[in-house]
Amino acid sequence: MLQASSHAVAETKTALRLTTLEWPPHIFADGSGPVADAVREIFSRKGLAVTIEVHPWHRAVALAAENKAYAGVFPEYYSPRADAEADGHRCLFSRPFGKSPIGLAELSSNPVIWDKIGDLADLRIGTVRGYKNEDMFDLLVATGRIHAVETTSDEQNLRNLLQGKIAAAVIDLQVFEHLIATTQDLKDAAGKLQFNSRLLAIPDFHVCFQNSPQGRRAREAFEEGL
């Protein structure tokens, strides 16, 4: 039955359309990068071509959820609130195909001392609008115990940190290392920034396929290629 599902995907579209975001070093503006390449490779094992479009994250998520021309969005952290097979309705999560640690960027001169997520209560912590972080962290943000200061990018969070507007910023470790090595103003200030020694999580990467028959067939093909 799974083999038939893969053929159905191939017959429906010459190339599956997926959305993503610019998130270097994982994914670059032109759709290249190791995470995007991994998705292409997994589908190629089933003989399927993929078109990957890079959009701002909110738009990437909305297109994949609402526009029938798109099969899904990646990379997403698992969330039962989004999972149409759990408590949500937005999408169908694939099995994991990668992972990367997330934690707190902080000032070297003023590190955040914490043992459990609750210790971060009452701190001003930078987050990126629309990003899922760690479950308990997001719950404490939603209930007002952690004061999240939202921006539209990781770069802006790090700038806010340098300007003393926040105590820390949630960020992917590889993204943090890339930004302080390649973005000129952050590179110049790299000695003032560090990554907290305690991680928030090491979340898996998933493709979040559209909650539709096409999305379900695309997920089956993807998981055959894993």
Closest to 115 measured CA to CA, from 188, 41, 196 = 196
The dihedral region occupied by 157, where left means phi > 0, alpha psi between -120 and 50, and beta the remainder, is alpha
Per-residue model confidence as pLDDT tens digits over 193-214: 999 999 999 999 999 999 999 9
The partner residues of 199 in beta bridges, in order of sequence, read none
Per-residue model confidence as pLDDT tens digits over 167-178: 999 999 999 999
Q: Give whole-number Cα distances, 112 to 62, 124, 168, in Å.
A: 35, 11, 7
Q: Distance between CA atoms of 180 and 194, rounded to whole angstroms? A: 10
**pLDDT over threshold 90, residue 4:** no
Residue 5's pLDDT band (cuts 50, 70, 90):
very low
**pLDDT over threshold 60, residue 1:** no
Residue 9's pLDDT band (cuts 50, 70, 90):
very low
**Helix ranges, the chain (H):** 2-12, 34-44, 57-66, 135-142, 154-162, 173-182, 184-188, 213-225
Determine the average pLDDT of the residues in 45-55.
97
The set of residues, in sequence order, having a beta carbon less than 8 Å from that of 50 and lying 6+ positions away, is 15, 16, 17, 18, 39, 40, 43, 44
Scan for tokens 């998705």, then name that residue: 39
Return the percent helix, strand and coil in the chain, to nearest 5. 35, 25, 35
Say how many C-beta atoms besides its own lie within 10 A of residue 175's C-beta.
20
pTM above 0.85, yes or no: yes
**pLDDT over threshold 50, residue 10:** no
What is the reported pLDDT for 14? Answer: 63
What is the reported pLDDT for 34? Answer: 98
Closest to 91 measured CA to CA, from 209, 205, 206 = 209
What is the reported pLDDT for 122? Answer: 87
Q: State the DSSP code for 14.
A: S
Sequence letter at residue 177: E
